[in-house]
Structure 1
Amino acid sequence: MRSPWQEIEPAGDTVCIEGERILPIGNERLVVAINKPPGYITAMSDDRNRPTVGDLIREHFQTPLFHVGRLDRDTEGLLIMTNDGQLAHEIAHPSSSVCKTYLARIAGALHAQEINLLRRGILLRDGFRTGPAEVRILEQTHDTSLVEIIIKEGHKRQVREMFSSLGKQVLSLTRTAIGGITIDLVPGPGDIRILTKEETRLLRRKKGTC
């Protein structure tokens, strides 16, 4: 936009000022980070009255928000919610290569051959083949292993299914980062924070630059 008096059609026109997309008044872009506790459904409501992320945000925001990707009921950690569909697509779609980082506590040891399979990409039981993952063992005992795994896709229950394909049971799973945003911004279960413009830009960081 070059003139402050230029007429626009709100329903169809995109307005940018110095490269920043501007939404109409009353529809300001809102990007929210949530630390989803385990036991919560990634949905705004549930017909079985189970707790949802909608329960966490409803009292704080009047603007309708939707979740960017999902965390299954038992998985905890970083979840992004927004009213910006374009941003959601950029973060969630595999072609965008935005990394998602998880900490998985698994039963037993994870061996070098199994790590290499994850790093090359692995065929899941439903026929989906994952892309190469970054895998690092942070802690290993006789009984369990703590594994950091970074993926760029968002297939249903992907991390759990990746380990399941290796015969490994996931005991706990936490998403700790999306792009350049980490769970440190919302350290406690149920914590909520509105992201700044700069933090929102960090969400777009690509795999390999996290």
Structure 2
Amino acid sequence: MKLVKHLANLGYGSRKEVQWLFREGRITNAAGEVLYADDPLDHDDVRVDGQPLDPAPGLLLVLHKPTGYTCSTRDAGRLVYDLLPPRFRLRQPVLSTVGRLDRDTSGLLLLTDDGQLLHRIISPKAKLPKVYVATLAEDLRGDEAALFASGTLLLEGEKAPLLPAELEVLGARSARLTLHEGRYHQVRRMFAAAGNHVVALHRERIGGLALDGLPGGEWRMLGEDDRARLFAG
């Protein structure tokens, strides 16, 4: 792949815009020597305005999503992509969220441009546990743990019962819930089926991967150790 196409795919601009970066001498190697559009591609050695390139395709990152942001590239209002470098929205392959958190849910959100990895994570066969903390409008009744663990709970409008889920009571109106599947608004609908209403929801873990103190609105790249932890959970 040529340097121009590679930089365009990373979101540094259209091919025409990237060509101008070369003409202005803004593309160099690590030693500061100006590169040209027809030079061999060595991703790790290329610099734009003296800065290393963004990660090559195949990246996986974690974002601590705040409430009020939507997992979309097109919706009106605040988008999770607004919390990332602007170039990330222009990358090819596309940087996609791995599943979604609704606008009013905070917590751990994964994004990747690796389609195979995305499908591996969300595949029902993976059964990666997803851990949420829910704050409720009413006190827990006391039978929710048995109901959710039964494997017989049928949500409104669905024909297949939910897989067993584990509930840990944290307080009169708060609980930690571990799911092994990912249905639409599942946590909220489960508590609704139990006669309650979720007023705040936070995802703290997927598989063996947690936020590990990452502040709200911040993100970080995940390495091979992180990926191993993800699937070890």
Q: Confirm or deny that 1:32 pairs with 2:64.
A: no
Measure how far apart 1:33 and its partner are.
0.1
Distance 1:129 1:36 in 2: 29
- Give 1:129's aligned amino acid: P
Q: Confirm or deny that 1:110 pairs with 2:140.
A: yes
Tell me which protein shows more helix as a share of its residues: 2
Contact 2:165 2:177 in 1 (8 A): yes
> Which digits, 9 at most, give the CA deviation of each residue in 1:81-117, with x for residues without a partner?
0011111112112221101000001122223322201
Q: Confirm or deny that 1:165 pairs with 2:193.
A: yes
Structure 2 residue aligned with 1:126: 157
Structure 1 residue aligned with 2:71: 42
Structure 2 residue aligned with 1:10: none
Q: Confirm or deny that 1:149 pairs with 2:177.
A: yes
Q: What TM-score does the superposition give when structure 1 sets the normalisation length?
A: 0.78
Q: 2:212 aligns with which of 184, 206, 210?
A: 184
Q: 1:193 aligns with which of 220, 230, 233?
A: 220
Q: What TM-score does the superposition give when structure 2 sets the normalisation length?
A: 0.70
Measure how far apart 1:28 and its partner are.
3.1
Measure how far apart 1:29 and its partner are.
1.2
Contact 2:144 2:167 in 1 (8 A): no
Distance 2:212 2:193 in 1: 31
Larger radius of gyration: 2
Distance 1:70 1:132 in 2: 21
Number of corresponding residues:
176
Distance 1:57 1:179 in 2: 23
Structure 1 unaligned runs (5+)? 1-24
Structure 1 residues 60 and 200, CA gap change in structure 2 (3 angstroms): farther
Measure how far apart 1:27 and its partner are.
4.5
Structure 1 residues 44 and 201, CA gap change in structure 2 (3 angstroms): farther
What SS is found at the alignment partner of 1:163?
helix
Structure 1 residues 190 and 154, CA gap change in structure 2 (3 angstroms): same
Contact 2:71 2:100 in 1 (8 A): yes
> Which digits, 9 at most, give the CA deviation of each residue in 1:169-188, with x for residues without a partner?
101000000111112252x2
Measure how far apart 1:60 and its partner are.
6.0
Over the aligned positions, Cα root-mean-square deviation in angstroms equals: 1.9
What SS is found at the alignment partner of 1:90?
helix
